Structure 1
Amino acid sequence: MIIYKGTPMIETQRLVLRKIEMNDASRMFDYIFSDHRVMDNLIKGPHKAISETIDRLTEITNHYVSENFCYWGIEMKESGELIGTIDLYNIDDGTENCEVGYNIGFNWWNQGYGSEALHAIVEFAFRFMNIHKISATHNIDNPASGRIMLKVGMKREGIIRHMIRKNNQYKDCGIYGILQQEYLEMNFLNPIPILNVVH
Structure 2
Amino acid sequence: MIIYYGTPSIETERLLLQKFTLTDTQAAFDNWLSDERVSDNRVSAAHQSVSETKERMNRILSDYESEEFCYWAIKLNESGELIGEIDLYDMEEATGNCEVSYSLGYRWWNKGYGTEALRAVVEFGFTKMKLHKISAAHNTDNPASGRVMNKAGMMQEGTIRDMIRNSKNQYKDCAVYGVLQEDYFSENNGNRYILNLSI
TM-score, length basis structure 2: 0.98
Residue number in structure 1 paired with 2:15? 15
Matched, 1:61 2:45: no
Distance 2:48 2:31 in 1: 13
2:170 alignment partner in structure 1: 169
Unmatched 5+ stretches in structure 2: none
- Paired residues for 1:1-199 under 5 Å: 1-166=1-166, 167-190=168-191, 192-199=192-199
After TM superposition, what 4+ stretches of structure 1 lie above 4 angstroms from structure 2?
A: none
Cα shift readout 1:26-67 (whole Å, capped 9, x = no counterpart) = 010011100111111111121111111001100000000100
1:169 is displaced (CA, Å) by 2.0
Query: Cα deviations across residues 157-186 of structure 1 (Å, max 9, x unaligned)?
Result: 000001111222211000000000000111
- Structure 1: which amino acid aligns with 2:181? Q
2: distance between equivalents of 1:52 and 1:141?
27
In structure 1, C-alpha distance between the alignment counterparts of 2:135 and 2:162, rounded to whole Å: 18
Which residues of structure 1 form unaligned runs of 5+? none
Deviation of 1:5 after TM superposition, in Å, equals: 0.4
Whole-Å Cα distance in 2 between the matches of residues 189 and 117 of structure 1?
18
CA–CA separation in structure 2 for the residues paired with 1:177 and 1:67: 24
In 2, Cα distance between the equivalents of 1:153 and 1:86?
A: 16
In the alignment, the residues of structure 2 paired with residue 9 and residue 51 of structure 1 have an alpha-carbon distance, to the nearest angstrom, of: 27
CA distance in 2 between counterparts of 1:159 and 1:45 reads 23
SS in 1 for 2:144: helix
TM-score by length of 1: 0.98
Partner SS for 2:83: strand
Aligned residue type for 1:102:
Y
| Distance in 2, Cα, partners of 1:133 & 1:141 | 25
CA offset digits 1:66-117 (Å, max 9, x no partner): 0000000000000110000000000111111000000111111111000000
Q: Measure the CA separation in 1 of the matches of 2:169 and 2:62.
A: 32
Q: Classify the secondary structure of the residue corresponding to 1:186.
A: helix
CA RMSD in angstroms, aligned pairs only: 0.7
